[in-house]
Structure 1
Amino acid sequence: MKLITLNIWGGHVRKPLLDFITAHRDIDVFCFQEVYHNAPAKISSEDRAVSLQIFSELQALLPEHKGYFRPVVGNIYGIGTFVKNSFHVLNEGEVSIHDNPVYSGSGPTHSRNMQWLECRINNKPYTILNVHGLWNGMGKSDSPERLSQSRRIRHFMDTIHAPKILCGDFNLKPDTESMKILEQGMTNLIKTHKVASTRTSLYPKTEKFADYILISPEIRSNRFEVLKDEVSDHSPLLLDFA
């Protein structure tokens, strides 16, 4: 089975992104972050275009997949996972991992959730966890909120007894205590493969880590790769697993 996780940057690099998805229709599971769905306007104040219907556009390109959208801002912006129809999704839901009750409605400091899907693939159970971690405007180091976020994720993962994959844009450096909490009982493929960066040339800042895939011991990684396609300021991560 194959999985790709990607922060799609709101669909800012729209045509290359859609071409990339078309070329990778064989992928079994896509986990996306920064997804708009039937949005009247963007939440970002940055001067860049986004695709306000990108979830529907992706679904149209993936007729053999079913899309699951989990909003974090209104009902218009959040995270989404697409799973091949041949896989049996037993349950799907979300867990709150950061709360911001005073969010203004614009910018990246909104509340955060984690999307989870309990699947049966080739008669074997898996749980797939899709995360877009907190951005606080002060880099990707530890903070009380990020530590709390990781503990919430850890607490939920500890209730899962099936093989699991945790992936997404964590907005964390690899050496943080927040990452260590998530790594307990998991293999961090970014570290084991000595990845130097998960960002593309479209990202001008110096911090080159944000995106991760972590797997539980029951998962066999047949192939892991940071793809070179520049369809966002984040690189797509590919996992071939069993």
Structure 2
Amino acid sequence: MKLITLNIWGGHIREPLLNFIKSNQMIDIFCFQEVYHNAPDKISTEDRPVSLNVFSELQELLPGHHGYFRPVVNDIYGISAFVRQDIKVLSEGEITIHDNPSYSGRGPTHGRNLQWLECAIDQKVFSVLNVHGLWNGKGKADSPERIAQSQRIRNFMDTIKSPKILCGDFNLRPDVESMKILEQGMHNLIKAYNVTSTRTRFYTKEEKFADYILTSPEITINRFEVLKDEVSDHAPLLLDFA
């Protein structure tokens, strides 16, 4: 089984992104962050183009997958997963991990959700959790909101009895307490494989960590890699597991 997680940056680097997906149709599960779906306009305040219907474009490139979109802003922007059709999705849903009731509708300070999928193949059941952690404009250090967000994720993970994979853009440094909460009972592959950056040349700020894959002990890791494809300001993470 192969999984890729990637923050697609709203589809800003559109053609390289679509070509990357087209060339990786054999991947079993994709987890994406910063996904637009039938959006009339972008929520970003940055002066860069995005793909306002990238979810449908991805689905067209993945005809052998079933797409699941979980919006977090006005039903037009959020996170998504694509699962090969030979993998049975037993259940799928979301939980709120951060709420911002004063959000204006523009910019990245919106609330955050976690998408979960319980999957089965060859009589094996496992769960995938896709997350895009909160952004506060103050780097990727701990904050009370981030601690609370991690605790909500932790509490939800504790209810899942099947082997599980937690992945996505956490917007966290690897050394913070918010990460330690998530690591309880899980293997942090970014640390295990001594990864020094999950960003591409399009990201020019200092902190080069954001993206993670964590696995429960029952998950066998055949391969883990930070891919070199530059299709976003985030690098794709690849997990080959059993």
TM more than 0.5: yes
Q: Percent identity?
A: 74
Task: Give 4+ residue runs of structure 1 displaced > 2 Å after superposition.
Answer: none
Matched with 2:220 is 220
- Name the residue aligned to 2:133: 133
1: CA distance, partners of 2:111 / 2:205: 24
Q: SS at 1:151's partner residue?
A: helix
Q: Deviations over 1:62-107 (max 9, x none)?
A: 0000000000001000000000000000000001000001100000
CA distance in 2, matches of 1:121, 1:212: 24
Q: Aligned partners of 2:94 and 2:192: how far apart in 1? A: 28
Give, in angstroms, the shift of residue 121 of structure 1.
Answer: 2.0
Counterpart residue number, 1:198: 198
- The alignment status of 1:86 with 2:89, answered yes or no, reads no
Residue 214 of structure 1 aligns to which amino acid in structure 2?
L
The amino acid across from 1:51 in the alignment is S
Deviation at 1:234, TM superposition (A): 0.1
Q: TM-score, normalised by structure 1?
A: 1.00
Deviation of 1:122 after TM superposition, in Å, equals 2.1
CA distance in 2, matches of 1:28, 1:47: 34
Find the residue that maps to 1:21 and give its secondary structure. helix
Q: Secondary structure at the match of 1:81?
A: strand
CA drift of 1:123 comes to 1.4
Q: Does 1:122 align with 2:155?
A: no
CA distance in 2 between counterparts of 1:156 and 1:56 reads 29
Aligned position for 1:209:
209
Does the residue aligned with 2:32 lie in a helix, a strand or coil? strand
Alpha-carbon distance in structure 2 between the residues aligned to 1:109 and 1:45:
11
String of CA shifts for 1:44-68, please: whole Å, max 9, x gaps.
0100000000000000000000000
The one-character-per-residue Cα deviations of 1:161-197 (angstroms, maximum 9, x if unpaired) are 1000000000000000000000000000000000010
Residue in 2 that maps onto 1:105 = 105
Q: TM-score, normalised by structure 2?
A: 1.00
Question: Aligned partners of 1:210 and 1:53: how far apart in 2?
Answer: 25
Distance in 2 of aligned mates of 1:206 and 1:173: 11
